[in-house]
Structure 1
């Protein structure tokens, strides 16, 4: 039983990395198997729903880990502006460390997957929104729900721009604007 779990976990992690780097359509099942060193029969054994199920579960895994990191990062911050700065710095560091290859684990998959993948992406975005909103509420920021949506949308766009230009400047520009916005509330 342990080996099956290891194979399933390796498949998910390999898929999450490839989907995050190449998107849904740019990632093939044979590539996932080859890069993960996985036996051919394992994919449909562990993921009978095929690529759609694998992508949805990979999104859920990667998004959950990122959400946990955001929650921990925000919880360590003394105020909303510092929390947002820390999240932006971490995202910028991750992008630069991957040579701008690995952006948001949701944004690269969301537009292209089917209903199951889109549902997993929507759930992931909702969890990140909730973490951000709850952090803002905790700090007494008014209109926390709308601001959390703005933060999420701004960060998604900034990550896309940063990946496209191979420059973290868009993340820091968004960060400066969000800092001003949060401090003005």
Structure 2
């Protein structure tokens, strides 16, 4: 059992969980997709599928946070950075027909009331995203209170628009949020 096996399991399971949700992905499906035995899964994740999901969520947290921070380095103004994030999501949806790598709302809606560790992992990711927006908005002259509210609004709007894109099979919700951004982000 090596780190590559564990990394492959996390990568494949993350995709499956994002595409189908936690409850719809069976253990056998994960084992088959990863080409591992049940023993290998439990060797790396002694608490099974839930522990694997939590590991996937923390991995998503790290990659999404890194991506958003990189976008802010290229676009220091929150308005332009948020627009870049939305444009990236639109491109992903229009080219792939889905938004993997960024959305985990299906997991939140399924599991947040069932498992406190999963709720905590999801909460940490939303908090990280909001904190990035918040810090940048404060540096742009927003009061702490206004920055906090705008960060929440941005996070909720973009996350909600992603879910609407998936359910409507259209990138229009993200495009609408992108058009409204300049009005939302006025000091």
Aligned residues: 182
Question: 1:75 deviation in Å?
Answer: 2.1
TM-score by length of 1: 0.91
The question of 1:67 aligning with 2:65 is answered yes
Distance of 1:70 and 1:40 partners within structure 2:
35
**What does the per-residue CA deviation read over 1:83-115, in whole Å, with 9 as the maximum and x for residues that have no partner?**
111010011112223212637442121122222
The runs of 4+ residues in structure 1 deviating greater than 6 Å are none
**What does the per-residue CA deviation read over 1:148-181, in whole Å, with 9 as the maximum and x for residues that have no partner?**
0000000111000111111111001012112222
The residue that corresponds to 1:4 in the other structure is: 2
Q: How does 1:36-55 map to 2 (within 5 A)?
A: 36-55=34-53
The question of 1:121 aligning with 2:122 is answered yes
TM-score by length of 2: 0.91
Distance of 1:178 and 1:101 partners within structure 2:
20
The residue that corresponds to 1:25 in the other structure is: 23
Residues 111 and 118 of structure 1 are in contact (CA less than 8 Å); yes or no, is this contact kept in structure 2?
no
Residues 61 and 124 of structure 2 are in contact (CA less than 8 Å); yes or no, is this contact kept in structure 1?
no
Distance of 1:105 and 1:63 partners within structure 2:
11
| 3-state secondary structure, aligned to 1:108 | helix
Q: 1:171 aligns with which of 170, 174, 187?
A: 174
Q: Cα distance 1:105–1:33, how it changes in 2: closer, same or farther (>3 A)?
A: farther
The residue that corresponds to 2:147 in the other structure is: 144
Q: CA RMSD in A?
A: 1.5
The residue that corresponds to 2:136 in the other structure is: 135
Distance of 1:98 and 1:108 partners within structure 2:
18
Distance of 1:50 and 1:115 partners within structure 2:
16
Unaligned residue ranges in structure 2 (runs of 5+)? none
The question of 1:180 aligning with 2:178 is answered no
The residue that corresponds to 1:90 in the other structure is: 88
Distance of 2:25 and 2:5 partners within structure 1:
19
Unaligned residue ranges in structure 1 (runs of 5+)? none
Distance of 2:2 and 2:103 partners within structure 1:
25
